């Protein structure tokens, strides 16, 4: 038999280490997927901000219209009801419907206080939103601060990025 030491064999050579570039096809797919998800999130965020801004701008216009209507008809109770509807519509546009649509009374006022630093709805001029339907009359001195408060709330919503995020 042949002597194994006499055979003309060469030593085992390992292949060269693979290069990091170009990556394997799986990495290209993962990279494309991450870029797609980032683009989708960016698009969704921009769309949400556009909707929010348009709702805020419409609310500002509506507030000016309500104030001019009040200056002609002087019906404070109707103006308060219209202001409440305006705030409700804007809150549903800026926040999740499930979070805002069912709120009434004190819970509604507490929700309205949330974006503000103080509590003007639960302890200030905003209380009239829940009290007006049960009062025999509402004075103009109570309505003017409420309109200013509503304007402040709308402006705060416009600058607040904690709107609907989910």
Count of Cβ atoms closer than 10 Å to residue 103 Cβ: 15
Q: Which two tokens stand for residue 16?
A: 């060269």
Percent of the chain with pLDDT over 70: 95
- Alpha-carbon span 43 to 18, nearest angstrom: 38
Average pLDDT over residues 150-163: 78
User: For 116-150, how does the pLDDT look when each residue is reduced to its tens digit (9 = 90+)?
Assistant: 988 999 999 999 999 988 888 888 888 999 999 99
Cα torsion through 146, 147, 151, 156, rounded to 10: 10
- Confirm if 121 and 109 have CB atoms less than 8 A apart: yes
């Amino acid at each position: 038999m042949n002597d194994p030491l006499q055979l003309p064999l060469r030593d085992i050579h390992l292949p060269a280490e693979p290069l990091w570039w170009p990556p394997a096809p799986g990495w290209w797919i993962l990279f494309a997927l991450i870029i797609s998800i980032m683009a989708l999130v960016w698009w969704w965020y921009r769309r949400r901000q556009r909707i929010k801004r348009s709702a805020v701008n419409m609310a500002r216009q509506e507030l000016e219209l309500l104030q001019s209507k009040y200056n002609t008809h002087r019906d404070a109770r109707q103006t308060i009801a219209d202001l409440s509807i305006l705030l409700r519509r804007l809150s549903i546009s800026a926040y999740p419907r499930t979070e805002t649509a069912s709120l009434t009374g004190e819970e509604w006022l507490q929700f309205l206080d949330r974006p503000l630093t103080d509590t003007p709805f639960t302890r200030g001029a905003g209380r009239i939103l829940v009290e007006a339907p049960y009062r025999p009359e509402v004075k103009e001195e109570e309505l003017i601060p409420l309109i200013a408060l509503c304007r402040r709330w709308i402006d705060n919503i416009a600058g607040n990025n904690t709107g609907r995020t989910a």
